[in-house]
Amino acid sequence: MSIPKADAAGFKFTKIVDGTTPIPGGTGNFYYLFNPNINGNNIVFAGGSEHNVDLLGVYATTGTNKAITKIADQNTPIPGGTGKFDYLGQLSVSGSNIAIAGGTYSHDAQSGIYITKGINGALTKFADTNTPIPSGTGNFKWVGYPSISGNNITFVGSDASHKAGIYANTGENRAFIKIADTNTPVPSGIGNFKWVGYPSISGNNITFLGDDATSKRGIYANTGENGALIKIVDISTPMPTGIDNSHPIDYPSTGGSNITFVGSDASGKTGIYANLGENGALIKIVDTNTPVPDGVGNFDYFSEVRRHGNTVTFVGRFYDANYYQSGLYIYLDGMLSKVISSTDTLFPDKRIIEIYDISRHGFDGESLAFGTFLSDASMAIFRADKISEPVPEPLTLGGTAVAGVVGFWFKKKKKKVVA
């Protein structure tokens, strides 16, 4: 695939938190940093101290240079439950609404999803092990992996026999509904679902991964309240490359009714694919034959695929015996470019070693939030905001760096490249 040169518009990079940032309501500085979510000025993340990776709390900030606020940690009483949280970390943010999964490790373990409207709002119970299973038997044994869009939330829940399902509550004061579980027939597949997981919601559109009775994996969707369950893609779907698809599908990301995912063909070649074509046809975004923009060689590996509208972002890597590069890349209107990579520096004395984390809500269409490992072995979370005009070479100013050649944002063009 030929990649046309893009018009540079650039990004402004701002450090949100790193190993020098004190933990609000805690002791010492952050050491572990995970799961950065962004929506406008709001950034929510999980973090903790050096002593125990399990002792994570959830924290937020409402803008650049604004104070970091604790949402919940291991000293927070469990809303609607007993005692305090043992673990937290699975997050989702939409506007000022935040959904958090957490619970306890005791023999009568508690598991729940909790929500707050704004970083200073009260944390309330959304669903827990006292919540009846919709169209099921008994209460949930475990709930987690929330995804929120406005007031709509989807999540994974399992029963006492550890069978999982996808469930949702699509609005204020609405009842919980089942989207799919192991009693649900697989659309255009064989038997009932053997496994379901990784749900994502955009508006009323819910997508998830599922395996049929033969363990054939696919992406499925429920498009709107009471909408029929449909297959988006599975391993029998013809690939845009013309090679049969017989390998796993992973990292699904939804933007409205649009889907992007990582898939491998029968030859083992991995790529990112999306229904960006006419009438929703699948096209190839990038694969292991694609040269790394502003880098060395072709891509070897893809992860952390995120989509908003027709814009796709992802983490891509190249490695051989002598060289390794990890970077964050962006695709729009047939054009691919680097946002930032391990060849770049955002501090005078620290180089980026690895882009390791972009959450499901780490890209809001205008800005990105991402986690990095730095050359001093520390972790940090940055935000990248697009700027409209090209700027000079990177200039570091405290925690903020402005880059014109480090990242590109694309102006729309009539001519598109279809892979």
- Per-domain residue ranges for the chain? 11-29+74-90+102-114+129-403
Q: Which residues contact 337 (CB under 8 A, 6 or more apart)?
A: 6, 293, 294, 329, 330, 407, 408, 410
pLDDT at 43 over 90: yes
Asked whether residue 394 carries a pLDDT value surpassing 80, the answer given is no
Instruction: Please tell me the predicted confidence (pLDDT) of residue 53.
Output: 61
The pTM of this model reads 0.84
* Closest alpha carbon to 13 in 295, 332, 355: 355
pLDDT given at position 114: 97
- Chain mean position to CA 345: 24
Please say if the pLDDT value at position 332 is more than 90. no
Q: What CATH number matches the domain at 11-29+74-90+102-114+129-403, 1.10.3470, 3.30.530, 2.60.120, 2.130.10? A: 2.130.10
Q: How high is the pLDDT of residue 413?
A: 31
pLDDT at residue 403, as a whole number: 42
Asked whether the predicted pLDDT for residue 298 surpasses 90, the reply is yes
Report which listed range, 195-209, 341-355, 380-394, is most confident.
Answer: 195-209
Distance CA 252, CA 7 (A): 29
More confident residue, 411 or 361: 361
pLDDT number for residue 167: 97
52 — pLDDT class (breaks 50, 70, 90): low
Single-letter residue type at 66: K
Tokens of 86: 């043992």
Q: State mean pLDDT over 371-385.
A: 89
Residue pLDDT, tens place only, 197-223: 999 888 888 989 999 998 888 999 887
Using the predicted structure, report yes or no on whether residue 228 has a pLDDT greater than 80: yes
Segment 55-83, tens digit of pLDDT = 689 999 987 677 899 999 999 999 999 99
Poorest-pLDDT segment among 218-227, 378-387, 388-397? 388-397
Top-confidence range, 100-109, 235-244, 258-267: 100-109
Residue 257: the pLDDT is 64
Higher pLDDT, 135 or 50: 135
CA-angle at 39, arms to 351 and 261, nearest 5°: 75
C-alpha to C-alpha distance for 48 and 87, rounded to whole angstroms = 11
Q: Which of 169-173, 334-338, 397-401 has the lowest mean pLDDT?
A: 397-401
Rounded to whole angstroms, the Cα distance separating 20 from 17 reads: 8
> What pLDDT band is residue 253 in, cutting at 50, 70 and 90?
confident
- Give the SS3 label for residue 113: strand
Confidence of residue 389 (pLDDT cuts 50, 70, 90): low
Give the Cα separation of 314 and 177 in Å (integer).
32
Task: Give dist(CA 35, CA 362) in Å, integer.
Answer: 8
Mean pLDDT over the full length of the chain: 82
Q: Is 293 within 8 Å of 286 (Cβ atoms)?
A: no
Provide the token pair at 100: 């958090």
